[in-house]
Structure 1
Amino acid sequence: MDETYFKVKGEWMFLYRAVDKAENTVDFLLTKRRNKLAAHKFLRKAISNDGCPKVIDIDKSGLNRQAIRTYNKRRLKRIRIRQCKYLNNRVEGDQRFIKWRTQGMLGFKNFESASRTLTGIEIVRMIKKEQVVFPKANYFETFCSLAA
């Protein structure tokens, strides 16, 4: 679990991402603020989509740590926190593709366009990693069904 940042109309926005052991994208969320509430919202979203993990690797971000602790208290779960920068390299390495795709852009003009563009980039990465089962006839139809 990690976050990265993008500029949208001159302001920093934060993209939270989670990647599993096999380097498959678990979930992602673009937020306007980097605070405990945003980290907790992302954690709940990721757990509801992919199930509750036993261990989460994070960097030295205190916000992610607080969000996991809050989740443990509210749900009476026991998710262990590992703060090791070497184990968090999977997420950091996976972010480079998003940064590479957005680096040549002039920037995002509003939050909605940034959210849709980053969602598209993430979905394309998920398809390339063969994370998606193809119920549709082709890649385009699969992409459209995921983006909706």
Structure 2
Amino acid sequence: ETYIKIKGKWSYLYRAIDAEGHILDIWLRKQRDNHSAYAFIKRLIKQFGKPQKVITDQAPSTKVAMAKVIKAFKLKPDCHCTSKYLNNLIEQDHRHIKVRKTRYQSINTAKNTLKGIECIYALYKKNRKSLQIYGFSPCHEISIMLAS
């Protein structure tokens, strides 16, 4: 997860990517706690199935959430890794969001803007336009945004 400012208060953007760096899902929350982290990971597992390996930062909330997920979904205990260096792929992927110094006035504005940024960024990634195996399709998201 990373953080952004909305109306002067910090909000947290949870992002999940696969091993190739393709965006699986994004979720904007007002709080960074184990309930938010657990709900996001649970949402990913329901959408994509059980993961072989989950790499996160060393935040206490994420560790607690992963312990609950491992118990609830009967995952292997060694599927969660908190290595500082293995986490670099997602940290580098946060760059295009952190570079933006925009201050958002509402959570809806931030959510829509960030989803648009993610869609455009995903289009530049290799073979992303043709992939249909993931839930996050940039072409589908752009067509939804244009329709509204």
The one-letter code of the counterpart of 1:32 is K
Cα deviation, residue 75, structure 1: 2.0
Letter in 2 for 1:87: L
- 116, 133, 136: which is aligned to 2:130? 133
5 Å-filtered alignment, 1:1-148, equals 3-78=1-76, 80-100=79-99, 102-103=100-101, 105=102, 107-129=103-125, 130-133=127-130, 143-145=142-144
Point out where structure 1 has 5 or more consecutive residues left out of the alignment. Answer: none
Aligned counterparts of 1:6 and 1:85: Cα–Cα separation in 2: 22
Distance 1:64 1:134, change over 3 A: closer
Query: Following the alignment from structure 2 to structure 1, what is the Cα–Cα distance between the partners of residues 131 and 16?
Result: 22
- What is the alpha-carbon root mean square deviation over aligned residues? 2.3
Per-residue CA deviation, residues 13-66 of structure 1 (Å, 9 max, x unaligned), is 000111211111121110000001100111112222322211111111111111
The share of aligned pairs that are identical, in percent, is 29
Structure 2 gaps of 5+ residues are 133-137
Could you tell me how far apart the structure 2 residues matched to 1:125 and 1:24 are?
10
- Asked if 1 retains the 8 angstrom alpha-carbon contact of 2:38 and 2:65, the reply is yes
Segments of 4+ moved more than 6 angstroms: 139-142
- Assess if the C-alpha contact under 8 Å between 1:123 and 1:146 holds in 2: no
SS at 1:22's partner residue?
coil
Task: Return the letter of the residue paired with 1:96.
Answer: R
TM-score normalized by the length of structure 2: 0.84
Structure 1 residue 146 displacement after superposition = 7.2
C-alpha contact (below 8 Å) 2:11/2:28 kept by paired residues? yes
Describe the shift of the 1:23–1:10 C-alpha distance in structure 2 as closer, same or farther (beyond 3 A): same
